[in-house]
Amino acid sequence: MIDIKELRIGNWFIGYDNKPFIWGLEHFSILLLEKNAPDIDELIKSPIPLTEEILLKCGFEFKNNAYFSPVFNTAERIRIVGGNDNFHFIMNIHKAIKIKSLHQLQNLIFILTEGKELEYGHK
């Protein structure tokens, strides 16, 4: 179950047609304005699990045993390490945040870059 506080316009999820879709303003409208509105779990089947393939589609590069984001300068020492559904967002030597899904990564990048969006190259 996804908490509504995790949702931002532009987040990617899996819909009930088993296809990725972008959460948009219309989805918030459905939840808030429609009579007998569905709940979030009726609109979102699941988050998109974070994988190496997803990181590469988002423009990350793998080097020195870590994934580096295209929206961060590597001098900032911000990177993602791990694999097999066990990824950690490393901000410095003392802080690591476990991330499991694409929307969590999108939200984290948005906050840390003061509004830059992480592009997801799904076609």
**Read out DSSP for 21-76?**
EE--HHHHHHHHHSTT---HHHH--EE-B--HHHHHHTT-EEETTEEE-TTS-GGG
Q: What is the pLDDT of residue 123?
A: 46
64 dihedral zone (left: phi>0; alpha: psi -120 to 50; beta): left
Higher pLDDT, 96 or 17: 17
Please give the pLDDT value at position 120.
81
The confidence score (pLDDT) of residue 84 equals 79
Asked if pLDDT for residue 45 goes beyond 90, the answer is: yes
Q: What is the pLDDT of residue 12?
A: 94
What is the distance between the alpha carbons of residues 21 and 15, in angstroms, rounded to a whole number? 6
Long-range own/partner contacts, residues 82-91 (CB < 8 A, 24 or more apart): 83/52, 85/49, 85/50, 85/51, 87/50, 87/55, 90/66
Mean per-residue pLDDT, 49-77? 82
Mean pLDDT of 4-8: 89
Q: What is the mean pLDDT of the chain?
A: 84
DSSP character for 2? -
Model pTM score: 0.81
| Residues near 101 by beta carbon (within 8 Å), at least 6 away in sequence | 47, 48, 49, 50
pLDDT at 77: 63
At residue 112, the 3 state secondary structure works out as helix
The pLDDT value recorded for residue 76 is 59
pLDDT in tens, 65-106: 888 877 766 555 678 888 877 898 887 666 788 999 999 999
Residue 33's alpha-carbon distances to 7, 30, 44, 82, in angstroms, are: 17, 6, 18, 41
